[in-house]
Amino acid sequence: MAEKSSVFDMIGPVMIGPSSSHTAGVVRIARAAIRILGAAPEEATITFYNSFARTYEGHGSDRAIIAGLLDMKTDDKRIKDAFAHAAERGLKYTFKSVGNASAMHPNTIKLNLRASDATVEVIGQSRGGGVISIVEVDGFTASFSATLHTLIIDAGDVKGSIAFIASVLAHDECNIATMSVSRKGRNEKARQFIEMDSGIKPITLEYLRQLSWVKHVVYIPNIDL
């Protein structure tokens, strides 16, 4: 009798698992989230919404999200054993599901991560074909794929800040692909999400970080590199 195969026996050049939406996209959402956090997470609360809420166990999305939190790439053969690897590294995690969130994309995941004193909440969507969109970070509206080089800048809501940062990047020969700005109120902290076609020089990052009105800078190179 032939041995029964698992959903993680499909091995291809870009994913391991039953579908790119349920594996590759999920892994990428988690890998983006840990880079926003800036550290390996110690605790994670993972909420699956809508279609994901109904299928995440059967389609292996639970293993895929844990693999991404451990910074495994989409073609890593260890994804099927992600739970065991998480136990070895001491990652504590909880799964939740919300089956009827009509305002959200069918394949949505929310990650609440903690590492020491750092915390982050990231909401991502798996759009199919391994494509993702990070749509919210700590309550700030976003829209980036993490497959380009991405800057996340927390800054004071001061006049000319967007144009100034764009000018700094232009002098570093960084071509801006997309830019969005989210703020919670006038004159409150604003968060800029900037996708670039090329990477940014370390000296430029340090310059941005030392500006008096810049509070925090996160740089995420292409997560597939």
Quick one: pLDDT at residue 4? 35
| Residue 150 near residue 159 (C-beta atoms within 8 A) | no
Rounded Cα gap, residues 43 and 167, in angstroms:
38
| Percentages of the chain per state (helix, strand, coil), in multiples of 5 | 25, 35, 40
Quick one: pLDDT at residue 219? 97
| Residue 143 near residue 34 (C-beta atoms within 8 A) | no
DSSP string, 20-66: TTTTHHHHHHHHHHHHHHTS--SEEEEEEEEHHHHHTTTTTHHHHHH
| Residue 31 near residue 97 (C-beta atoms within 8 A) | no
Which residue is listed with tokens 């190179």?
A: 221
Q: For residue 99, give the nearest of 41, 57, 141, 44 by alpha carbon.
A: 57
Residue 81: CB atoms within 10 A of its CB come to: 15
Rounded Cα gap, residues 59 and 54, in angstroms:
10
On the 0-12 / 13-18 / 19+ scale of CB atoms within 10 A, 12 is exposed
Quick one: pLDDT at residue 191? 94
Quick one: pLDDT at residue 196? 96
Quick one: pLDDT at residue 72? 95
Quick one: pLDDT at residue 55? 87
Whole-model pTM: value is: 0.87
Furthest C-alpha separation in the chain: 71
| Residue 223 near residue 31 (C-beta atoms within 8 A) | yes
pLDDT per position in the chain (225 positions), as tens? 333 334 444 433 344 444 555 689 999 999 999 999 999 999 999 999 998 888 888 889 999 999 999 999 998 999 999 999 999 999 999 999 998 887 788 899 999 999 998 999 999 999 888 899 999 999 999 999 999 999 999 998 888 999 999 999 999 999 999 999 998 767 678 999 999 999 999 999 999 999 999 999 999 999 887
* Residues contacting residue 216 through CB under 8 Å, at least 6 positions apart: 153, 154
Quick one: pLDDT at residue 9? 44
Rounded Cα gap, residues 76 and 66, in angstroms:
12
The SS3 assignment for 83 reads helix
